[in-house]
Amino acid sequence: MPARRSPWMDQELDDLRDLARTFCEKEIKPNIETFIADKQVDRQLWNKAGEMGLLCISIPEEYGGGGGTFAHEAVIIEEQAAVGDSSWGASLHSGIVAHYLLEYGTEEQKLEWLPKMASGEAVGAIAMTEPGTGSDLQSVKTKAIRQGDEYVINGSKTFITNGAQADVVLVVAKTNPEEAASGISLIIVPTSAPGFSRGRVLDKIGMKGQDTAELFFEDVRVPVANLLGTEEGQGFIQLMQQLPQERLIVAVSNVAAMELMLDETLRYVHDRTAFGRPIWGFQNTKFKLAEVATEARVARSFVDECVGLHVEGKLDIPTVAMAKLWCSERAQKVADICLQLHGGYGYMNEYPIARAWADLRVSQIYAGTSEIMKEIISRSLPAPS
């Protein structure tokens, strides 16, 4: 739990935090090692979360969701991070995929998929990255060519969160291969569609329990009605409009991870002795943890501001880019300090700090690299008058 109560919290969110904490402590924390060994969470975890009302909590009740706001999602993200888990892709499922469907889907698409996602019956993923295309989404090679009343999809995707368990994938594809941004569309693809296949679950440095997978599309046919939106060529705009929430999700999880690392390290340095006294007794330890506490507090304050602005619909793209940049970079700095204070034990996977150190590195890459964040921020800077 955050060291102080965030200003956007209220009694309803306090109650949700208690529920989410209980769920994470019972269903996730004892199973983290199993998730890592299996390279994915237990499929039943999704169903249990759905039964508890912890999936798609910011989706309107008419579509099976909880009728909440991003603040509700943030509470769940924080409590998952607080038990040291990076395996469960619920924040992408609920905070990203479901919102693409909510914002751009037809009524039929919403009614078909959102209730299933809210119950845990269907797991969602979004397929952007390709083997040769990362941040440059305009250059995707996957094609969705219309033939009569169907799209025929061919291509491959990689680094897809929830890829191994997904029941529905939003596929970023070129419906007009001759165009760049204006040729991109998002297509809803059920993973039961003939021609769809999954590759390996990728072996990553960190986040080893998350089913990050390769996906392949070989003459996959879906109805034209599976186009997300009212017309072709809107995909790039949809991506740009939704990426800020994805970046805020990263920032929220980074701050919660910083607070967890601080707590874990404080516990360790008070219990561990060196040269006849607790490690806490050395000035270097106190000074380093003073830095960590300050980094976490500053990041928490900034993210709290961003969450409040986002709930009000006032969070702009440069500001959330700043939050994502700052929190991902600072979380890695905190992880380095905390691992160092653990000494040799910090390098052992049995200690939460080791997993956190490895897990956090990707935060500077996914949802837009740090370099992309700097580019976005720089565009907002005024020229001298």
Residues marked as catalytic: 246
- Amino acid sitting at position 195: G
Whether residue 248 contacts residue 320, with contact meaning beta carbons closer than 8 Å, is answered with yes
Whether residue 134 contacts residue 107, with contact meaning beta carbons closer than 8 Å, is answered with no
- Other beta carbons within 10 angstroms of residue 228's beta carbon come to 21
Alpha-carbon span 343 to 274, nearest angstrom: 11
Alpha-carbon span 305 to 139, nearest angstrom: 34
Whether residue 53 contacts residue 65, with contact meaning beta carbons closer than 8 Å, is answered with no
Tell how far CA 372 is from the center of its chain. Answer: 17
Give whole-number Cα distances, 233 to 69, 98, 151, 226, 304, in Å: 29, 20, 14, 14, 35
Give whole-number Cα distances, 364 to 176, 201, 202, 291, 292, in Å: 31, 21, 19, 21, 19
Alpha-carbon span 84 to 219, nearest angstrom: 40
Backbone phi and psi for residue 201, each to the nearest 5 degrees, phi listed first: -80, 125
Alpha-carbon span 312 to 315, nearest angstrom: 8
